[in-house]
Amino acid sequence: MRPIYKIKEERKVSPEFMDEIKMDIETTIDHFAKYLEDFIPEGASGRFTKTSIVGPVGKLLSGISSSKLETKDALVGYVVNIHENTSSKWLSDEGKKSLEEGVVCLLSLKEKAPNRLFTKALREIDYGVYKRKLEYIYNKKKKKDEVKEE
């Protein structure tokens, strides 16, 4: 008779742990969204493609998911380099700090979460950052329009 195969999660995921992961995801999104306030793609045509909106963060997320880079400094350096080559705005100290904090959160998330959950979290961060940046752009536009009207 064929032996019975058992599939077992290596790490148990409790509801409290899930809440913790959710909090980490939120914090990471906050940091990256804050960092992206400094990112304005060069020669932006006005069309909001996802790549142009999340810019270096998208690269960072694929970098970390493929384990291309695994340390904080390497990841921050990777993003800063992309930023300098593709953004028309310089990276401010505040922006750099947010980026570093975001990377730290992301690395701790990778440490904590099982692989399957981490992949899901990356996807959520990706779209979360995209939404937040869009919101930022439209709020800015709204404010500009209001000033113009005045």
Partner 1 sequence: MIKSLYRFGLSRGWDKKVAKWGKTGVSSLLAHSLTVVGITNKLIDIINDFSESDRNVAIATSFFHDMLKEDRSSKEKIEKSKRLMDKLYTGEDYQDIKNILGEIGFSEDEIKQVIGILPDGSIQGIEHLEGLLSKKNTKDNPEVRRLVHDVADVLASKKSIDEFSDLGVLEESLSHYNLDLTFHKVSVIRGVLTSLLHKTFHHIYEEAGYTPVLFYPEGTVYIGLKGAEEPDFTYVKDRYWKYLKDYLEDVSEIRSLGQESIGRVNATPIESPSFAYLNESTLNDFWDAARNQNAISNSNIKGYDEIIDKGRFDSKDVMEDWIREKVGMYYLFIYFKSVLEHCTNEWNDEDAKKHLEQILETELDQSEINVEEFLEDIKSLSHTKPKEAKIETGKKLKRMFPDDLGRNELLDQASEFCKKVTIDLHPYAEKHYGLMNTNIAEQMIEEISYPPLANVQGIVEEVWEEYNIGKIKGTPLCVLCGRKGTSDAKAGLLGKSQTFTNFLSGGSRIAVGNKLRVCDLCEMEMTVRTLYTRRADFEEYYIVPQINLSPDYAELWAEVIGDLLRAHNRFGIDSITRDRTWADMIVNNEGDISKMGQDLLNNYTTHLLENLWKNEQKEFKNNVRNAILSVVDSDYNGEIEQFIEDLELGCDSLDELVELAVKGDEDILFHIEHKLGEYNKPKVRTLFAMITPNYALVSYPLRKNEKKDHKSANYLRHLFRSSMLSKLFSASVIVKELRYEPLLDITPRGAVKIPTNIQFDNAFNNMDIDLKDGWLQHEDVDKIIFKLSALFCLDGELRRISPSSKSQKGSLITILNEYPGRTLNRMQQLSSDNKRPNMQFALDMLNIMFEQGGKK
Question: Which positions lie near partner 1, rule CB under 8 A?
Answer: 22, 47-50, 123-124, 126-131, 134-135, 138, 141-142
| Least distance between partner 1 and beta carbon 50 (Å) | 5
User: Are the C-beta atoms of residues 53 and 133 closer than 8 Å to each other?
Assistant: yes
Q: Is residue 11 helix, strand or coil?
A: coil
Nearer to partner 1, 76 or 106 (CB): 106
- 45: tokens are 């045509």
At its nearest, how many Å lie between partner 1 and the CB of residue 135?
6
Q: Pick between residue 89 and residue 141 the one whose CB is nearest to partner 1.
A: 141
Q: Are 28 and 125 a contacting pair, CB within 8 Å?
A: yes
* C-alpha to C-alpha distance for 84 and 71, rounded to whole angstroms: 20
Nearer to partner 1, 79 or 122 (CB): 122
Q: In angstroms, what is the minimal distance from the CB of 58 to partner 1?
A: 11
The least distance separating partner 1 from the CB of residue 77, rounded to whole angstroms, comes to 26
C-alpha 147 chain-centroid distance: 31
- Which lies closer to partner 1 via its Cβ, residue 58 or residue 69? 58
Minimum Å gap between C-beta 117 and partner 1 is 12
The DSSP code sequence of 94-149 is HHHHHHHHHHHHHHHHHHHS-HHHHHHHHHHHHHHHHHHHHHHHHHHHHHHHHHHH
Which residue, 72 or 142, has its beta carbon nearer to partner 1? 142
